[in-house]
A = this chain, B = another copy of it.
Amino acid sequence: MTEFDLRQQRTRDSLRSALMALVAESPFEAISITDITRRARVARKTFYAHYNDKDALLLDCVLPMLSAAAQTVTQMNADTLLAGNKPLSYSAFKHVQQNADFYRAVLNAGGSVRLITHLLDFMAQTSYEWHAPIREVAPKMTVEPMLIAHFLAGALFNTLRWWLANDCQPSPETMAYTFSQLAAPGTLDAVGLG
């Protein structure tokens, strides 16, 4: 019961940190389940008892971080959003900077399609939810809100990729400001708040 849960939790942790360690050494594509289980000192069978495949483990590494990062700003209301000197994207730049090596390994040529598409969809969804308060005060919605969400998610995603390739220069603060500068006018126009 509790004991088993603890053991299982420990196994999952081993697997997660094994993958994180391996990703720091070689491209995700090149890492085999054999590599992961060997590194985690875990039996092959045990891996499959917890995850269906490599990508499931990868997502299990990333999702908790994402939820955490997302929640830090979810409670903001419309006013803060429009007036805030720390734009929403700031937490994204900060989070990516803190895990730069990991994201560099995973969002480029040797990385994981599954994670990339999941990230794009997750960011779009989060963006959609974040902007719910705005939609409530928006005078007119000339553009499908989900389209805007995907537009912003894609823009942020590729800006992050460029920034990672650029050694995370300039600072997250500057990046977040610039991103808002590029993104805000068009999206506010689109909801009649220009």
Contact = CB atoms under 8 A, between A and B. Distances in A.
A84 interface: no
Interface residues of A, number: 44
A147 B169 CA distance: 11
Nearest to A146: B162
Given A116-B116, A143-B181, A154-B157, 18 more contacts: A109-B114, A109-B117, A117-B161, A120-B161, A147-B159, A147-B178, A150-B162, A154-B159, A154-B161, A155-B155, A155-B158, A178-B190, A182-B187, A182-B189, A182-B190, A183-B186, A185-B185, A185-B194
Interface of A: 29, 107-114, 116-118, 120, 124, 142-143, 146-148, 150-159, 161-163, 178-179, 181-187, 189-190, 194
Majority SS at the chain A contact face:
helix
B158 A151 contact: yes
B185 A189 contact: yes
Contacts of A187: 182
Nearest to A143: B178
